[in-house]
Structure formats: structure tokens, C-alpha cells
Amino acid sequence: MLKPIWNALGDIRLAVILLLTASATLLTGTFYAEDHFSLFMALNHMRIQDWLPAQWASRPELVWWIPVLFAIMALLGINTFACAANRFLRLIGQRRNMAAGRFFYLLTPSLVHFLFITIMLGHLATFTAGRWQRLPLAADSPIAVSPEAPAYRVAAIRDEFYPESSALGGRLRQTAVALEGAGGEALQLQYGWPVFIDGRFLLIDKAPQGEKAQKKSMPAGSPPDRRPGPASAEAREASVGRPLLMIVSDPGLAVIILGLTLIMALMIGYFLFKSKSAKWIAAVAVLVLLGAHPAAAPAAESRPEELAQIAARIEKLSPDPAFKDDRYGLILIYITPDEKGSMVSRMDRLPPFWQDRARDCDYRLAVCSPAVRQLARDLFDFSIRTRDKKKEETK
Amino acid sequence: MFTTGVHACLYAAIGLYGIAWGLAVFHQRRPAAAVLAVGFILQSLYLIGRGWLGGVFVVHPVVEGPFLLPWCLALIAGGRFLIAPKAPMGGLLGLVAAFSLFCLFYGKGMIPPSPERESVWAALFFLSESMAHALFYAAAWMAVLSLAGKAPPHAYYTWLVWGFSLYTVAQMTGALWCFVGWGNTFSWGSRHLSSAAIWTFFAATLHLQFVPKWKPKSAFLAVAGGLLVLYISYGNYLHEMRHLRVGG
């Protein structure tokens, strides 16, 4: 009873459907967020459980997609967990038969999926347990970072502007805020350079009017009228805005950033390694199959059903599209030199299906060590001997 | 910088990209690659010059999407030629030429940067995002060729994989930039939501490869993904054309 439910939850088709639904919901949200900027921006500094009920009560037609998105992401998390856990357990079962490096390589996609779940949980922690406090900044004013810690005092606020001689003249370049603790300890804050104290991040934020001034529409007039020059005092004031101190407590931050960094590193490492190694791994499998099977011999022309089976087995062995090169389609690397004239040099004697397939492929003799080449030769000879033996027994 | 405000560099690069495309269409690969390289150098100089548009160096105009995207596509096309000299170049160079043409009509000035925009994370975000977009467009084009039977069935997959990987890098750098600038790793604004929509869409497209019956449909999704990126990113660029610009 439970197994079918578990299998259904871990079905990759469900993952595709959920991801596409999540994408459609996010895209829908894009339109709402664009038309109601301040409504959704408020959610950046509020917990979802404080924001959503109030908005749901007053304007459900604007916010309906947020609970839908949370539901889809929850289902996606469950699906991802079931899918990755199945794969992980299968790999653990095969652990003894493979080298540590190969085991870790195969484990990477599962790790990436577990990390994806962790990141989603990190976001959930941020949305439900984050705290954002905004305080006005004024010289000599006290700042209480947390109830337990002693207060800081704003020692100085210093604005830095672009040089008057430049086209950006008079516009704000940076603001430095010096904080001084009760014990004389000094902290320096700048835009884009937060400080971490007492488990909280301190950032400088700007009051909304500054942002509007930065993004105001192009003024009317011909282009030369709009040419740069030192900004007016009004523009200068607008570009400065009113600096605010933001105190952020985000329990999901470390999980999100660490998770994203690891996912990024694992994905890039996996694909880099895959593009180099997959061709070898799959090629050996294909070599063994072709070598061990009469398909390599001209006599195989009369056995199309077996060829179809081989095709299916190859597809199973190398479902990895990285094995395919977009220049040539499928690359098959063979290790045993084709001295006796078989699979590579006598393709014209293959059945039509294989001839069609071979047309898209590029066959190359692998560059490998003599030991590997000997191993491939032994495997090939062994399979030929086995075939001949079977033929004799049949006779 | 001696190329600051010298739009001739950009115009010459656009012209050269067009010529390179024409040569590639007529199977003149080596000359096409040489012309592409010259165009790429000129556009690189133009992009660096954009940093001084305001009279002092500012990073943001260098990595502004409409100007950076053709550069990324040209870099990819050049890299591909070096790795696979016999591979067809026409499609990629057509994309380079088409996207660079948009720069002709786009505002050449810079949007005055807010202090939060002058973060190294912002530069890394725009760089990785543009490179990912370029790979998504290349994947969409290869998918069109696959659907038309003019390329192997899954020729677009490698492009998608690398586009998605770089887009994940963009998600990480974007999250960091957003946090150090505004105190959130995810903002409930249209920019972040559309970015997440693109990420989930391509995640679905990549997962489609593992569903044998649905696998043939993934080419359609790759094309749809390219169109989605085009709609979202160029929608933003057109919107940004209304912003106040200085220099250029």
C-alpha cells in the first residue's frame, strides 16, 4: 500500500509537472509584483504569517498565487526527497561493487537534490522566522542591536559623492556610518558592506524616495538637453535619500548561501567530469556489447530482433546525453583495433536500421594504455570464442 | 579609457558580426572566425570604455545586459570554433548578429548607479546571467535545428546543461548581492520572481530527458525556454530604456 504511494511521490514525471507549474505560478506572480510593487515589497521585510493573512483578507485576488506557490514547492520538496532517496539507497546497495571515486560521482546528482531541498527549507526559515528592523540613522542617536547587547551610538555619517567634474557629479557614491559601542569598540557600515554582530546583520538601507529618484523616467526634450552635467541640488538630495539602519536576523541565510555554493560547485564538477569520463565509461560498455554479440559479425544481418534488443540495451547503458556530441550525434570510441574488418570498417554490411544509426555517429579509435587495450582485446576474443563455441554446439 | 563614448567600436563590431555570419553561411569557417575575433576585440574595448561613461569608472555599464549578451554569444561562438573547428557556425553567428543589432537602437548611456549596484556581486551576477542567457539562446537555436531535422536530436542538451549551471551561479551571486544590498536573499519583486520562473522552467526541461516517453518533447521546451528568456530579459531592457541615462 505504502510502496505505490512512495513510488508515485518519487515519480520523475511528477517532478517535471511540478517544476513547470512552479514556473507558471512564478511567472504569474511576476505580473502581480510589477503592477503592485509596494504591496509585495513589504513582504521582503515581514514574516509571511504576518503579511499573508492580512492581505488575503483584504485583496485575495492579488495574493492567491503565493499560497499556491508554497503548496507546489512543498510537493516538489517531497517529490525530490522521494526521488533522491530512492536513487541514494540503490547506490548504497551497489557501493561494494564500485570504486570510491565512481561512487561519489554517481552520488552527486542525489546530493544536489538533497541540497535543493535544504535551500528550500532555508527559504522557508527566512520567510517564517526572519526579522527585519529598520531604524532611522542620525548622528549621536543610540542604536539597540538586540535587547541583550549594549547599545551603539552613531558616531558619524559621511556621504561620498561622485566628483563634480564627472557626468555623475553630485550623485551619491557611498555612505559610511561609524558606530561606537559602549566599550569604545568601533564599527564601520557602508552600502553593500554589512556588519555581523550579536547574531544579526547590520546594513544601510535607503528610504524609498531615493530609489524613486534613481529610477525616474527620462525627462522630455531632445537628447542634447538630457546630456550629463553636474546634478542640481535637488537631484543631489534625492540621490542621497534618508539612510536607514536595517537590522536583519535571518535563520535561513547560511543554509541558502552554503547550499547554493555547494550545488553550484557539485553541478559544475559533475558536468565537467561527465563530459570527459562518460564517453569512456559508455564506450567500454558499448564495446563489450558489440564485441560480445553477433552484431559485430556480418552474420548478424539476419537477426534484426537481436539488434533491436542491443539498441535498447545501449540506450539503457548510456541514457546520458553528455555521451552525445552535438557535432556528430553519438561518439563511439572503440578500443580494440579493427584489424579483422568488423564493426567499424564493414558498416555497409549492417542492416538498414544500424546503417541509419551509424550515419549519425563518429567512430574513433580510443587513445588508451596498452593494458586497457589488451583487456578489450581479451574481452572481444572471449566473446568471439563463446559465439563460435555456441555455434558448434548448435550444429 | 580611449574607447569611452566611441560608438564607432560598437558599430564596427556589429558590422563585423554580420560579415562573420555571412561568411559562415557560405561555409567560409576560418575567415568567419577571424572576422568574429576582430569584432569581439572591438566590442570588448567598447564594453571596457563604457565603464568610464560617467567620467569615473563604474562597473555596471560594462555588464549591462543588452551590450554584454552579444559579447557572451561571440565568446561562445569563438570558443566553439577553437574546440570544434568543423562544427557549423552559421546559427550561433546569426544569434550574435541579431542580438548585437538591438544595441544599435538601445540607449547608449548609463543608468546612474545606486551605491548597492557597485558591488562585486552585482558584476558577477550580471556576467553569469548574461552568459547563461547566451547559452539558453544557443540551446533554443540548436533545438530548432533538431526539430527541423538539420541537427542531431539532442544537440541542444549540452548547451542547456551549461546554461542551467551558469544560471545557478547567477542565482547564488544574485542572492548574495541582494542580501548585502537589501537584506534579503530572495526579493518578492518581478525581477526575482521571473528569474526563479526561468530557473524552474529549465530544471523541468532538463528533467524531461529522464522520462523516455516525454524526451522528444524536450526540444519544444528548449525553444519555449529561449522565448521565455527573450520575453523576460528584453521586456526588462525595454523598460529600462525609459530610465534616466547619462553619458553615451
Last residue of a domain, one of B68, B89, B110: B110
Structural Rg of chain B based on CA atoms: 18
A279 interfaces chain B, CB cutoff of 8 Å:
no
Which residue in B54, B172, B182 is closest to A167 by CB distance? B54
CB A200 within 8 A of CB A249: yes
Same domain, B92 and B124: no
Pairing of strands A142-143, A131-136: unpaired
Same domain, B7 and B20: yes
Last residue of a domain, one of B110, B131, B148: B110
Q: How far is B42 from chain A (nearest CA, A)?
A: 24
Same domain, B28 and B88: yes
Using an 8 Å CB-CB cutoff, list chain A residues near B207. Answer: 12, 15-16, 19
Supply the pLDDT for residue B163: 95
Of the residues B89, B114, B120, B150, the best mutation for testing chain A's interface (the one with the most A CB atoms within 10 Å of its CB) is B114
Same domain, B87 and B118: no
Residue A189 CA to residue B183 CA, distance in Å, equals: 14
Same domain, B82 and B152: no
Last residue of a domain, one of B58, B82, B110: B110
CB B121 within 8 A of CB B173: yes
Q: How far is CA A291 from CA A387, B115, B143, in A?
A: 10, 65, 34
Same domain, B72 and B120: no
With a cut of 70, which residues of chain B have pLDDT below it? 1, 248
Supply the pLDDT for residue A309: 56
Name the grid cell of A144.
539597540
Same domain, B137 and B89: no
Same domain, B83 and B144: no
Per the structure, the complete domain to which residue B207 belongs is given by: 114-248
**CA closest to A196 among chain B residues:** B180
CB B158 within 8 A of CB A326: yes
Report how many helices (DSSP H) and strands (DSSP E) chain A contains, helices first: 13, 11
Same domain, B166 and B225: yes
What tens digit of pLDDT does each residue of B90-114 get?
899 999 999 999 999 898 888 888 8
The DSSP output letter for B116 is G
Using an 8 Å CB-CB cutoff, list chain B residues near A239. Answer: 112
Mean pLDDT by 10 residues, chain A (395 residues): 86 95 97 94 94 94 96 96 92 81 87 95 96 88 80 88 87 90 86 89 76 42 40 52 86 93 90 62 47 40 49 48 40 58 61 62 65 74 72 72
A30 interfaces chain B, CB cutoff of 8 Å:
yes
Same domain, B87 and B26: yes
Of the residues A18, A21, A25, A27, the best mutation for testing chain B's interface (the one with the most B CB atoms within 10 Å of its CB) is A27
Same domain, B60 and B140: no
Work out how many domains chain B is built from and give that number.
2
Q: How far is B133 from chain A (nearest CA, A)?
A: 17
Residue A239 CA, chain-centre distance (Å), reads 36
Same domain, B89 and B106: yes
